[in-house]
């Protein structure tokens, strides 16, 4: 029985990271960064969470520990 594994690597862009730091320092958020979390899924539900009908706005977080 086989399986499919998908992985990815995020390459840092110095200019983009600098812009994030600038916005955090100069913004109305008092040095805090915020992210848009759309949903949190268990590992068992991860495939459905990333499926075409399961997606909602924001980032999907997959929880791998109980």
Q: What pLDDT shows up at residue 56?
A: 67
Please state the φ and ψ torsions of residue 46, each to the nearest 5 degrees: -60, -40
The answer to whether the CB of 37 falls within 8 A of the CB of 62 is no
pLDDT tens digits for range 32-63: 767 788 888 888 888 888 777 755 678 888 88
Q: What pLDDT shows up at residue 59?
A: 81
**Is residue 6 over pLDDT 70?**
no
Domain chopping of the chain, boundaries: 35-66
CA atoms within 13 A on the CB side of 60: 16
């Amino acid at each position: 029985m086989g399986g499919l594994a998908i992985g990815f690597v995020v390459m840092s862009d110095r200019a983009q990271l600098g812009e994030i730091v600038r916005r955090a320092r100069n913004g109305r958020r008092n040095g805090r960064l915020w992210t848009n979390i759309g949903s949190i899924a268990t590992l068992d539900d991860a495939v459905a969470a990333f499926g075409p009908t399961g997606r909602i706005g924001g980032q999907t977080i997959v929880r791998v520990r109980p």
